[in-house]
Amino acid sequence: MLGRGDWEAAQSGSELAYCPWEVRNTNSLGVKDVEHENIHSSLSSLIGTTHVQTQHNQLLVYPATEEEISQILRAASAHGYGVVPQGNGSQSQFGKGFIEKKIQLSLKRMTGIVEHSIPDLTAAVLAGTPLQMMQQVLKQSGQWLPIDPMVSAEATIGGIVAANSSGPKRILYGSLRDYVIGMRIVYPDGSVVKSGGKVVKNVAGYDLCKLFIGSRGTLGILTEITFKLRPLPHYQELVLIPLQTLDEAAKLQRIILASEFIPSSLELLTPQFSVELGQRPSYTLLVGCDEGEAACIYHRERLTELAGADFNLKRGEGADQFWQEYRSYFNSSSQDFLLAKVSVLPMQVLPFLQLLRELFDGSSVLMSCSAGLGTGIIRLTIQDGLNQDGVAPKLKIAREWAEKHQGALILEKAPFVIQKQLSIWGSEPSAFPLMKAIKQKIDPDYLLNSGSFIGGL
Amino acid sequence: MEQKHLVRALTQIVGKKSVLHHPDDVLAYECDGYTIQRGTPRAVVFPSCAEEVSKVVKLLFQAKIPFLPRGAGTGLSGGAIPLGGEVIISLVKMNRLLEVDFANMRAVVEPGHINLKLSNTISVQGYYYAPDPSSGSSCTIGGNVAENAGGPHCLKYGVTTNHVLGLELVLPNGEILNVGGSSLDLPGYDLTGILVGSEGTMGIVTKITVRILRKPQGVKTVLALFEDVRDASQVVSDIIAAGIIPAALEMMDQTAIKAVEAGSYSVGYPENTDAVLLIELDGLTAGMEEMAEQILEVCRNHHVSSVKVAKTPEERNRWWANRKTAFGACGCISPDYLVQDGVIPRSTLPQVLERIREISQESGLRIANVFHAGDGNLHPLILFDARIPGQTELAVETGSRVLQVCADVGGSITGEHGIGIEKQQDMYMIFTEQDLQAQQMIRNVFNPEDLCNPGKLFPKPARCVEMKRPVVHS
Ligand SMILES: Cc1cc2nc3c(=O)[nH]c(=O)nc-3n(C[C@H](O)[C@H](O)[C@H](O)COP(=O)(O)OP(=O)(O)OC[C@H]3O[C@@H](n4cnc5c(N)ncnc54)[C@H](O)[C@@H]3O)c2cc1C
């Protein structure tokens, strides 16, 4: 088991920016100075002056314990302030609703692995721990949390769970809802609630964890999360097959999904994206295998039969490196960048890409996609030129199509010009009234991250 | 509402043949697989579609009559037992497979569809539904959703919640609603996730969208016998430590072996066998041989007395039938038995087995252990004789002591069978009052008047004070 001390030692190598929150809309008249002073001093007395900061009229607090979080929430509530939880601000682009009086609550000081039980393949982690650091520690015992979300190195596990982020390997490993086995949460009223536990199978009581995964910090502050882990694959390979047409991709998709293949990723990159990643200017089909060397060879042979021998191959760390580049592509810090996540059924993925092609054909914006042919999750990015007319209406058509096919299109990152024309979340689901009732039960005053989730939750 | 008015109103909705109300007719519905407590339902109705369920629920909701959903009644924690004169809404007539979409690997079933039937139907095309409770040939997928059922192959593939994508639900006020869907990550809170495992306390599930999987190319089943149960426990740990996640990793101890050998599917285990491990690998055939060899090696390193790989599908099926009928087989060696269900961190297996042995000695009741060793899910079967005064109570108490051991090592009081009425008070072993209130908050959103399966799952406040004190989290 690893103690907190080891963790801190591991962490000291990297210096993280203390104020990652990007402030857009500062209005010095918006927050009354007196109120601000009052809450500032009240927070300072709770957690110490050095851990309360004001930047561009925004209050930032850095609690170190669950107890401090409780106190902050109670104080915020008493002063009529809202609270916006953030890990390292890496997901902060998500539906940032503007509330005048709000406190940014950073979990940056709550990092470390609380318990890593190696033989049980489980680990409890403080929510402010960056995923990357957590993986580094787990790797020492040949284990990992099998998620590969499109996030930056600083992204914290709490933020990732709150956003339910995933990546290409989801096709084999599943998503966070398959790995979170326990949580500690500070509720808006300051009470601390535990859900689940530390064993990998557990049906005692309601599975509240599910409610918090993907809740975008609108229901409670996650402080500690316990995961089920997996052994790191002994060996992996990634086959990159250039394809000229969507029809070829469709054929391979059907065959691979309906036969003995066990792909650890099955993504189709559009030509634009292929070029960015050093591939030919055609579609590229990525087929990963994590099942050991013999299985990788078998996969490769089968793919040769199906698509010919004209492919690129990345082995072991080469594959890791490729994925790292791939992920960094989604982490553009440019203001002129849009990332949308589309979710449809696997068999609708290629028709959707076809639709996008028709929509954006002849347009000067650079649109690229990575489409999960087994998961049905498509990541769509647009770089540069987002202020042009026509981008938002095109995305609106794409969203309508996705929703008509039982799917969704959400904006993960988008400049203000797009957000003005297109909602982040799209249509409310039919069960929305129940979701709202849950929010109102848990957070009746809309203290937490208000307005940032679907339907203003 | 008077009984005869109620019966008439129910009959109007579902038809005469679909309402039972004579005391003789409802006798079979007094309990489920947990037979220690019983209650008489006011009536039992068999709706044939969601609209009928909705109408029945609306009627009962308006009349403030409590009701509860029931599938096949194989539940082992008493979730379907009517302790407060509930009307039982049985879903067995709603048993159709509505849709299979092989290309997208989805299927839609009605709640009364039998678990195993789904896999059998889609097997020809090379697909299956992964959650495989041992009761699969009789339990319903609706019941599986309510209990978040597991099974031997959940070690690698996950339990029911990992395979359910969307639900149609009749809320306790009769409203019909859809949650989740067939695509992943639909926006909003994960209501499907919270409904799975809610034991019928949030509404009645009337349609289920599940993920189906492609059958693996290859399967290898290994049977290993040990003369000392501690060696078997160590093998379990070492396999996982070697980075292998088998499809299944099951264990039975000496008493359980006696039972299965007396049952209908004996395998012929030698007399001196103290523990059996049933290990299954699946996936691509390429590389599987080496992995199997690795497992055999681990077994040999721990004094395995006999180890073999199944040579034919028949042999494999026989081993599995032997394991899967273990609960029932206890009836061959004991007049009565109580199935317990607890979870422990895998690494504490040897120590917990030792404690269970001690508890067995102290109570004077034999305990057979059958379990999903790979994920630390124990099923201690407490053998007793209900004809002997006091033994039933002793069995219940002994079961509770075993759960306390699970809780003490950081485990859980149930891994598959749920809380129901059996473990309501045991909830305090792992949750604080605060934790439980947070859960009830959600129940109150769905089921504000607690008419749908009332009085289940949560501890009874009045009794908790005298019986068990809440745990305090560190
Ligand atoms: C021999 C034997 C072996 C078993 N092995 C396993 C095993 O390996 N793994 C495992 O997990 N379990 C096992 N069980 C337990 C049991 O089979 C499961 O809990 C199963 O999921 C119950 O399904 P059922 O249809 O019988 O539900 P029931 O017993 O009828 O009901 C169970 C609960 O679900 C609720 N419910 C039923 N239908 C609905 C619905 N449509 N909507 C909402 N709520 C509903 C009921 O109110 C009740 O609370 C076993 C039981 C037996 C007898």
Q: What is the CATH number of the domain that holds A368?
A: 3.30.70.100
Q: Do B184 and A375 touch (CB under 8 A)?
A: yes
The CATH number of B97-214 is 3.30.465.10
Of B103, B161, B457, the CB nearest to A347: B103
A 10 A CB-CB count for B157 gives: 21
Residue A111, pLDDT above cutoff 80: yes
Judging contacts by C-beta atoms under 8 Å, the chain B residues touching residue A346 are 103-105
- What pLDDT digit, counting tens, does each position of B139-194 carry? 999 999 999 999 999 999 999 999 999 999 999 999 999 999 999 999 999 999 99
Q: CA-to-CA distance for A408 and A390, rounded, in angstroms?
A: 20
Residue of B nearest to A174 (CA): B162
CB contact under 8 A, B197 and A119: no
Q: What is the dihedral of CA A95, A98, A104, A106, to 10 degrees?
A: 10
List the one residue out of B339, B338, B336 whose CA is nearest residue B385.
B336
Ligand 1 centroid to B179 CA: how many Å?
21
Instruction: Give the CATH number for residue A296.
Output: 3.30.70.2190
Q: Is residue A419 part of a domain?
A: no
Residues of B in contact with A406 (CB under 8 A): 181-183
CA distance B460 to A125: 33
How many percent of chain A have pLDDT more than 70?
Answer: 90
State how far the Cα of A331 lies from the Cα of A374, in Å rounded to an integer: 23
Please report, rounded to a whole number, the percentage of residues in chain A having pLDDT higher than 90: 81
Average pLDDT over residues A411-419: 93
Specify the DSSP class assigned to residue A433: H
Among B70, B198, B412, residue to substitute to test ligand 1 (most atoms within 8 Å of Cβ): B70
Residue A114's Cβ-side half-sphere holds a number of Cα atoms within 13 Å equal to 18
What is the pLDDT, as a whole number, of residue A362? 86
**Consecutive H or E run containing B251:** strand B248-253
What's the topology of domain B334-418?
Alpha-Beta Plaits (3.30.70)
| Structural domain spans, chain B | 97-214, 216-333, 334-418
Q: How confident is the model at residue A29 (pLDDT cuts 50, 70, 90)?
A: very low
Quote the DSSP letter at residue B28: G
Same domain for A50 and A144?
no
Q: Tokens 């949308």 — which residue?
A: A340
Coil, strand, or helix at residue B99? strand
Cα–Cα distance measured from residue A343 to residue A376, given in angstroms and rounded to the nearest whole number: 6
- Taking alpha carbons only, the member of B233, B230, B366, B227 closest to residue B307 is B227
User: Which of the residues A198, A206, A299, A448 would you substitute to probe the B interface, choosing the one with the greatest number of B C-beta atoms within 10 Å?
Assistant: A206
pLDDT at A106 over 50: yes
Range of the domain at A101: 4-108+434-456
Average pLDDT, chain B: 95
Confidence of residue A363 (pLDDT cuts 50, 70, 90): confident
Q: How confident is the model at residue A14 (pLDDT cuts 50, 70, 90)?
A: very low
Overall average pLDDT of the A346-368 stretch: 94
Q: Are residues A179 and A214 in the same domain?
A: yes
CATH of the domain at A87: 3.30.43.10
Q: Are B183 and A344 in contact (CB under 8 A)?
A: yes
Query: Which residue in A203, A207, A259 is closest to B194 by CB distance?
Result: A207
How far is the C-alpha of B237 from the C-alpha of B58, rounded, in Å? 52
A57 pLDDT tier (thresholds 50, 70, 90): confident
Q: Give the confidence band of A88 by pLDDT, cuts at 50, 70, 90.
A: low
Name residue A91's beta-bridge partners. none
Q: Any idea which of A37-41, A155-159, B359-363 has the lowest mean pLDDT?
A: A37-41
Cα of B415 from ligand 1 centre, angstroms: 13
Same domain (yes/no): A78, A118: no
Q: How confident is the model at residue B348 (pLDDT cuts 50, 70, 90)?
A: very high
A25 shares a domain with A99: yes
pLDDT at A125 over 50: yes
Of the candidate ranges A8-22, A241-255, A387-401, the one whose mean pLDDT is the lowest: A8-22
Residue A154 sits at the vertex; the CA angle it makes with A151 and A157, to the nearest 5 degrees, is: 75
Domains B97-214 and B216-333 share a fold: no
Hey, are the CB atoms on B177 and A430 less than 8 Å from each other?
Answer: yes
Are A203 and B416 a contacting pair at CB < 8 A? yes
Find all residues with CB under 8 Å of B18, minimum gap 6, and list them: B45, B46, B47, B48, B93
Query: What is d(CA A255, CA A263) in angstroms, rounded to the nearest whole number?
Result: 12
Both A133 and A195 in one domain: the answer is: yes
pLDDT for A87 equals: 65
Is A424 inside any structural domain? no
Q: Is the pLDDT of residue A7 over 50?
A: no
Distant-in-sequence, close-in-space partners of A36: CB < 8 Å, separation ≥ 6: A54, A57, A59
Q: Please count the structural domains in chain A.
A: 4
**Is there a single domain that holds both residue A23 and residue A87?**
yes
pLDDT band at A100 (very low <50, low <70, confident <90, very high): low
Q: What would the mean pLDDT of A360-388 be, rounded to a whole number?
A: 92
In chain B, which residue's Cα lies nearest the Cα of A202? B415
Residue A61, in any domain of the structure:
yes
Q: What is the ipTM of this complex?
A: 0.95
Classify residue A178: in a domain, yes or no. yes
Higher pLDDT, A331 or B42: B42
Q: Same domain for A123 and A216?
A: yes
Residue B277 carries which DSSP code? E
Classify residue A427: in a domain, yes or no.
no
Quickly state the pLDDT bin for A24 (edges 50, 70, 90): very low
Question: How far apart (Å, rounded) are the C-alpha atoms in residues A353 and A350?
Answer: 5
Cross-chain Cβ contact B283/A291 below 8 Å: yes
Lowest mean pLDDT among A96-100, A219-223, A230-234, B412-416: A96-100
State the pLDDT confidence band at A53, using cuts at 50, 70 and 90.
Answer: very high
Pocket around ligand 1 at a 6 A CB cut-off: B 32-33, 68-76, 79-80, 91, 111, 133-135, 139-140, 142-144, 146-147, 149-151, 199-200, 204-205, 327-328, 416-417, 453
Query: Environment class of residue A129 by beta-carbon count within 10 Å: exposed (0-12), middle (13-18) or buried (19+)?
Result: buried
Pairing state between β B67-70 and B204-211: unpaired
Does the pLDDT of residue B239 top 80, yes or no? yes
Residue B287 to residue A291, Cβ atoms within 8 A = yes
CATH classification at residue A139? 3.30.465.10
A307 with A389, same domain: the answer is: no
DSSP code per residue over A23-83 = P----TTTS-HHHHHHHHHHHHHHH-GGGEEEETTEEEE---SHHHHHHHHHHHHHHT-EE
Architecture of the domain made up of B216-333:
2-Layer Sandwich (3.30)
Query: Using CA atoms, how far apart are residues B200 and B209, in angstroms rounded to an integer?
Result: 17
Q: Report pLDDT digits (tens) over A236-256.
A: 999 999 999 999 999 999 999
Q: Cα separation of A412 and A410, whole Å? A: 6
- Provide, rounded to the nearest whole percent, the portion of chain B with pLDDT above 70: 97
Same domain, A226 and A117: yes
Same domain for A275 and A345: no
